């Protein structure tokens, strides 16, 4: 039993990783993220940390559904949100998680092959300040792990990434500790 785990870099690294799953007939992504990362282009480029999932749905034939949990912030791209909604993706805000975690857990995929992409900025910056795009009012560690655990236990996890973690932006070292704990818990849940 093997699980590919990818750590590091900005979210643009997820796109080439997902291309390795192009032989699966069906793939569902659960993306924990403050930002949608579904822009068509940014700063005149189609390949950036703002577009990995847009590129992936264009290039990975079996990628049918994305569930994004933890969305928030002032920097939104209306075209990207509309494009994601038009494709039928499930978009869940951080506020919805705080108000009804049980309801959010019910909306997660069941019985699917799932790849989890965990952007460090989904967590509140008081828990994980070491990321390049922090957004206030993020998820607690407990909320984020509830989403991860539920996803892992009711699906076949085929890959996991932790991105946008920048320990150099957190001189206190909390972000690196939280990232290491997250990886350990994901692996324990998967092996469990």
pLDDT in tens, 55-70: 999 999 999 999 999 9
Outline where 87-173 has alpha helix (H): 94-99, 101-106, 141-153
pLDDT at 171: 93
CA distances from 81 to 50, 71, 122, 123, 150 (A): 12, 11, 17, 21, 25
pLDDT at 166: 96
What residues in the chain have per-residue pLDDT under 70? 41-50
């Amino acid at each position: 039993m093997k699980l590919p785990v990818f750590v590091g870099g900005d979210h643009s690294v997820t796109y080439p990783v997902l291309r390795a799953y192009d032989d699966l007939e069906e793939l569902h992504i659960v993306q924990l993220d403050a930002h949608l990362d579904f822009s068509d282009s940014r700063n005149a480029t189609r390949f950036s940390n703002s577009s990995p999932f847009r590129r992936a749905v264009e290039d990975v034939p079996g990628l049918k559904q994305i569930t994004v949990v933890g969305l928030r912030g002032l920097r939104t791209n209306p075209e990207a949100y509309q494009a994601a909604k038009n494709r039928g993706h499930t978009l869940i805000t951080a506020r919805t998680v705080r108000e009804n975690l049980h309801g959010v857990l019910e909306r997660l995929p069941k019985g699917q092959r799932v790849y989890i992409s965990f952007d460090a900025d989904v967590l509140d910056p008081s828990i994980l300040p070491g990321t390049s795009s922090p957004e206030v009012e993020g998820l607690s560690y407990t909320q984020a792990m509830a989403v991860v655990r539920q996803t892992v236990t009711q699906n076949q996890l085929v890959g996991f990434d932790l991105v946008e973690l920048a320990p150099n932006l957190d001189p206190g070292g909390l972000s690196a500790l939280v990232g290491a704990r997250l990886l350990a818990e994901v692996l324990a849940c998967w092996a469990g």
